Amino acid sequence: EEFELDKEYQKEILERERKFLEELKTANEVFDKRTLMILFSILAGKHLSEYIGVINSGKEAVVLKARKGHLYRAVKIYRVATCDFKTMLKYLQGDPRLHIKRSSRRAIVNAWVEKEFRNLKRASSIINAPKARLRRENVLVMDFIGVRGDPAPKLKEVEIDWENAFKTVKDFMIKLYEEELVHGDLSEYNILVKEDEIYFIDFSQSVITQHPLANALLIRDCINICNFFKKKGINCNYKDLYKEITGK
């Protein structure tokens, strides 16, 4: 059966796509065709109203600022071509929640993003972390952590009450562990500070506590965190931190 397309809406979407492509060009960002198609399908499905600009552009992923109605969102897009999919596979294989049937590069990246999506869901229900909103292939939509459109600074860029900050970071690590999650890439780079509140981000390397890598990753997290807070004059020792988290 034929149906009438909402011409006005169609025009609006096309205009947003044009604007977005223009943005990418000015920012020198290149995405493959399939990724662009997914980004546009998210607009067409009204999950987002508009892509606004690039927050961060790394080797493995790009983080965009976007808008949904009057709310900002962050969109993390994995670069399928430059991802380290061998390391990804190592992390994925120990996770009983995931079954990777095919093992093309794209399938591995997609499973990786699904893992991050689930980790983020679990984490944001326990501690301050961006809420996961949508996952489509290599694209993840989450809450934007920032104030009036400005992304929150990293822990390494702020001046705050370090005693308090350390207490909160420790508390968050304990809470995650109680819910069987280890961040796995915790440092002053993956912690944001929004109006004096601590947020953990980037749960891409997080594993559940039963994962064969969990213990080594937790120890590394403790070392990173202690090294940073020691520089801020906090008396901390990674072995004690590890003990407090695990009870071992």
Return residues touching Mn ion (CB under 5 A): 190, 202
**Cβ nearer to ligand ATP, comparing 24 with 201:** 201
Give the bridge partners for 168, in sequence order. Answer: none
When CB distances to Mn ion are compared, the closest residue is 202
The owner of tokens 């822990």 is 155
Based on the shown chain and the rule CB under 6 A, indicate whether residue 61 belongs to the binding site for ligand ATP. yes
| Sign of the C-alpha dihedral computed for residues 136, 98, 94 and 125 taken in this order | positive
Give the bridge partners for 57, in sequence order. Answer: 62
Annotated catalytic residue 185: yes
Cα atoms in the 13 Å half-sphere on the side-chain side of 125: 11
- The option from ligand ATP, Mn ion, none interacting with 145 (CB < 5 to 8 A, set by class) reads ligand ATP
Catalytic residue among 143, 185, 221, 240: 185
Q: CB of residue 143 vs ligand ATP: minimum separation in angstroms?
A: 6
**Cβ nearer to Mn ion, comparing 35 with 206:** 206
Based on the shown chain and the rule CB under 6 A, indicate whether residue 63 belongs to the binding site for ligand ATP. yes
Catalytic residue among 84, 150, 202, 240: 202
Q: CB of residue 195 vs Mn ion: minimum separation in angstroms?
A: 21
Annotated catalytic residue 143: no
Question: Annotated catalytic sites, by residue?
Answer: 185, 202
